[in-house]
Amino acid sequence: MTIKASKATGTQLELAAKALRLGSLVAFPTETVYGLGADAENPLAIARMFEVKNRPTNHPVIIHLSTEDQVDYWAVQVSDFAKTLMRDYWPGPMTLIFSRSQNANDFITGGQDSVGLRVPSHPVALALIEKFRELGGRGVAAPSANRYGAVSPTDAEAVRVELSEYLTDNDMILDGQRPAVGVESTIIDCTQDRPIVLRPGAITVQMIEKSTGLSVMRSEDTLLRVSGSHKKHYSPKAQVLVDGKSQTGEGLIAGSHVETPSGVIRLASPTSVEEYARMLYSALRQADVLGLETIRVVPPVGEGLAIAIRDRITRSASE
């Protein structure tokens, strides 16, 4: 199948919302990475989405909403600190985990009693979800638009390369402005009496503590399943190495202060942590396009978003 990406104009957004309602799949940009969207209430559409991703069906998927007043449809026992987080950081790169309502079926939650919700800030994502809502839709389930275990896509072309052979004429890939963040949303478990970060992202522990006034717990203390927390993930075909000096013929991803040894192929030289996050996934993909065998990565130092970047690099490098 040679599906093409379409510019996310008003007309294309209308078509995409209709496609979702009819049970087709729509890949769309968010401020973190591209998602592969499906109607969160359509079991057949969700089953196909898992097939296209080649993802185990017991992995839960995040439901994307256009406003926080849709939370109560999917979740129960929404705590005060969760409401504070929503007010401060939605729309934005933050997913909250709640106890599920009866509307959140096993095919969404992977059989768990919790459900993950997020209001993204990317204008195309918001417009799509809003139009879908006008057609009676309740939420757009969307994992990252990559095959299971592979690198998340940060542009429409990467989605096409990754998934077009599994998509049909009725599915769509919407092309929009590049994700401003570049790594996946922070996942925060809100089912306990304190927030627990299950996956680090652009909404940092300090931001969560400042907003809620609560101390944040570490994810090792919980038994919830997070697919990105399986050790190997976010992996290109090339081998990712974090230690040692780069050798001739290898790719190199490092901050701009690191020089490129001769014979080494520079894949990215970000000048800030924010730019590092935006460039990381396309640089990993570029190595595969060039057919490189090895990518040497010098991770960023420091707190905040650098923690999320190091988390993804470590996973992409694990065997």
Positions in the binding site for ligand TXA (CB under 6 A): 30, 32-33, 35, 59-62, 95, 97, 109, 112, 114-116, 118, 120, 142-144, 184-185, 187, 198, 224-228
Q: Cβ(211)–Cβ(84) under 8 Å?
A: yes
Site pattern 128..157 for Mg ion (x: CB under 5 A): ----------------x-------------
Alpha carbons 284 and 275: distance in angstroms, whole number: 14
Name the binder of 60 from Mg ion, ligand TXA, none, CB < 5-8 A by kind: ligand TXA
Q: How far is the CB of 43 from Mg ion (least distance, A)?
A: 21
Tell me whether residue 95 or residue 144 sits nearer to Mg ion (CB atom): 144
Name the binder of 115 from ligand TXA, Mg ion, none, CB < 5-8 A by kind: ligand TXA
Tell me whether residue 30 or residue 79 sits nearer to ligand TXA (CB atom): 30
Q: How far is the CB of 20 from Mg ion (least distance, A)?
A: 19
Tell me whether residue 116 or residue 251 sits nearer to ligand TXA (CB atom): 116
Token output for 223: 């038994």
Tell me whether residue 144 or residue 282 sits nearer to Mg ion (CB atom): 144
Angle at 159 between CA 154 and CA 164, to 5 degrees: 175
Q: How far is the CB of 225 from ligand TXA (least distance, A)?
A: 6
Q: How far is the CB of 13 from ligand TXA (least distance, A)?
A: 17
Name the binder of 226 from Mg ion, ligand TXA, none, CB < 5-8 A by kind: ligand TXA
Q: How far is the CB of 116 from ligand TXA (least distance, A)?
A: 3
Q: How far is the CB of 152 from Mg ion (least distance, A)?
A: 5
Name the binder of 97 from ligand TXA, Mg ion, none, CB < 5-8 A by kind: ligand TXA
Name the binder of 310 from ligand TXA, Mg ion, none, CB < 5-8 A by kind: none
Tell me whether residue 5 or residue 151 sits nearer to Mg ion (CB atom): 151
Token output for 43: 């079991």
Tell me whether residue 145 or residue 268 sits nearer to ligand TXA (CB atom): 145
The full 3-state SS of the chain, as one line of letters, equals CCCCEEECCHHHHHHHHHHHHCCCCEEECCCCCCEEEEECCCHHHHHHHHHHHCCCCCCCCCEECCCHHHHHHHEECCCHHHHHHHHHHCCCCEEEEEEECCCCCHHHHCCCCEEEEECCCCHHHHHHHHHHHHCCCCCEECCECCCCCCCCCCCHHHHHHHHHHHCCCCCEEEECCCCCCCCCCEEEECCCCCCEEEECCCCCHHHHHHHHCCCCEEHHHCCCCCHHHCCCCCCCCCEEECCCCCCCCCEEECCCCCCCCCCCEEEECCCCHHHHHHHHHHHHHHHHHCCCCEEEECCCCCCCHHHHHHHHHHHHHCC
Tell me whether residue 121 or residue 246 sits nearer to ligand TXA (CB atom): 121
Token output for 289: 């396009």
Tell me whether residue 104 or residue 292 sits nearer to ligand TXA (CB atom): 104
Q: How far is the CB of 181 from ligand TXA (least distance, A)?
A: 8
Interface positions, 178-197, toward Mg ion (CB under 5 A): none
Name the binder of 224 from Mg ion, ligand TXA, none, CB < 5-8 A by kind: ligand TXA
Q: How far is the CB of 302 from ligand TXA (least distance, A)?
A: 21
Query: How far is CA 253 from each of CA 226, 264, 268, 298, 301, rounded to the nearest angstrom?
Result: 27, 10, 5, 6, 14
Q: Cβ(186)–Cβ(203) under 8 Å?
A: yes
Q: Give contact residues for Mg ion (rule: CB under 5 A).
A: 144
